[in-house]
Structure 1
Amino acid sequence: MPHESLDNLSWRREDDRGAYLVTTQPSQLDHAFINRAFASDDMAWARPLPPDQITTMLAHSTTLGLYHTPPPAPPPTTASSPSSPRTPSPTTASPSPPPRAPPTQIGLARFVTDHVTLAYLTDVYILPAYRHHGLGKWLVACGQDVMKQLPAMRRAMLLASPGVGTAFYSRELGMWDVGEERASRVVMTRKAYGGGGA
């Protein structure tokens, strides 16, 4: 499967708070937003990176950006325009709806992947103001769609916090603690070599 196919996936939804977009298109990513997310206490495993390192990291990842477009503002009422709607006459042209604001990035989820056999999910983040509206579940479900695109996937992996994080990814992605495979598998890790990240 060509690399480009993972970089051109999109999902959309809309509610009374506006329109939402998840896309893997790299050109949509807001590098400044991602660095602010890395600086937040909610991403204790990350830290801000220099611009060239952000660019390199994203170029070697499949990243789902989550974007919000607020609903258009209703047109202002005036003394000559009633507050209750009227049925326009057949000869009256309907005014065009006000334009939407451009979408702004409010979240992300990043895969480190070879695009064929392995996907490591990391950096799942949504701005606090947009949490508790089902967007996290939706973002992760979009991530599951990405994993389904890998033609010979052997394993998907992530690091989760015990308790809430483990329960969330178990429920939403069918993940399990690799400790359950301890008879045949051991996950090994090492943190940064000198001067590296957290």
Structure 2
Amino acid sequence: MSVNNIHEWDKGEYNITTDIKKIDRTAVHSYLTRSTWAKGIDFETVSYSIDNSLNFGLFHREEQIGFARLITDHATFAYLCDVYVLEEYQGRKLSNFLMSCIHEHPVFSKVRRLMLFTLTAPWLYAKYGYEPVNQQNYAWTILRKDMYL
């Protein structure tokens, strides 16, 4: 469902929304600061990243329990990142719900290339068509591992 370019999906008592006003920035920061990929990240950086992304907030009733965001130009490219479901809600197929909603969003069907960097849950992403980039001299990066420490 879309209202003023806001998309929402329901699955029983769970809801996913792209409404940036509903994103609990404190909850997202709390998870990310203890994640393997953004350990120690400051609140201002998390908040700024939310402001400049297409966000998918996963809620159980009114509590935010998961999140993902696409960094995208809305036309040709998107980078999927910061995907999580709180540990106490894992095992309920909510990551599948989250990924399905991302793939149903109109931006997803427009972009030519989607990227994802992860060391966790490759089985989840493989189910949705993501493949490792193992071609020499193809994908390049600058990685600052200790950026937030």
Question: What's the TM-score bracket when you normalise by the shorter of the two chains?
Answer: 0.7 to 0.9
How has the CA–CA distance of structure 1 residues 177 and 13 changed in structure 2, closer, same or farther, with 3 Å as cutoff? Answer: same
**TM-score, normalised via structure 2 length:** 0.87
- State the identity as a percent: 27
Aligned residues: 146
CA distance in 1, matches of 2:47, 2:110: 28
Q: Which secondary structure state, in structure 2, belongs to the residue aligned with residue 149 of structure 1?
A: helix
Alignment of 1:98-113 (within 5 A): 103-113=62-72
- The reply on whether 1:191 has 2:149 as its aligned counterpart is no
Task: Say if 2:24 is the partner of 1:26.
Answer: no
Amino acid at match of 1:196: M
Query: What one-letter code is carried by the residue in structure 1 that aligns with 2:129?
Result: G
Report the CA distance shift for 1:56/1:186 in structure 2 as closer, same or farther (over 3 A): same
Partner of 1:158: 116
For residues 107 and 46 of structure 2, what CA distance do their matches in structure 1 show? 25
Residue equivalent to 2:129: 174
**Structure 1 segments unaligned to the other structure (5+ residues):** 70-102
**Residues 114 and 197 (structure 1), Cα distance of their counterparts in 2 relative to 1, 3 Å cut:** farther
Task: Tell whether the 8 Å contact from 1:120 to 1:156 is kept in structure 2 after alignment.
Answer: yes
Cα distance in 2 between the residues matched to 1:132 and 1:139: 13
Structure number with higher strand proportion: 2
- Structure 1 residues 149 and 159 mapped into 2: Cα distance closer, same or farther (>3 Å)? same
Per the alignment, residue 61 of structure 1 pairs with: 53
Deviation at 1:56, TM superposition (A): 1.5
Which one-letter code corresponds to 2:63 in the other structure?
Answer: T
Query: 3-state SS of the aligned residue for 1:107?
Result: strand
Deviation at 1:196, TM superposition (A): 3.4
Residue identity matched to 1:118:
F
Give me the CA root mean square deviation: 2.2
Structure 1 distance, partners of 2:142, 2:115, is 16
C-alpha separation between the residues in 1 aligned to 2:108 and 2:84? 23
**Shift, 1:49, TM fit:** 3.7
Partner residue of 2:79 out of 87, 101, 120: 120
Matches of 1:136 and 1:151 in 2, distance apart? Answer: 20
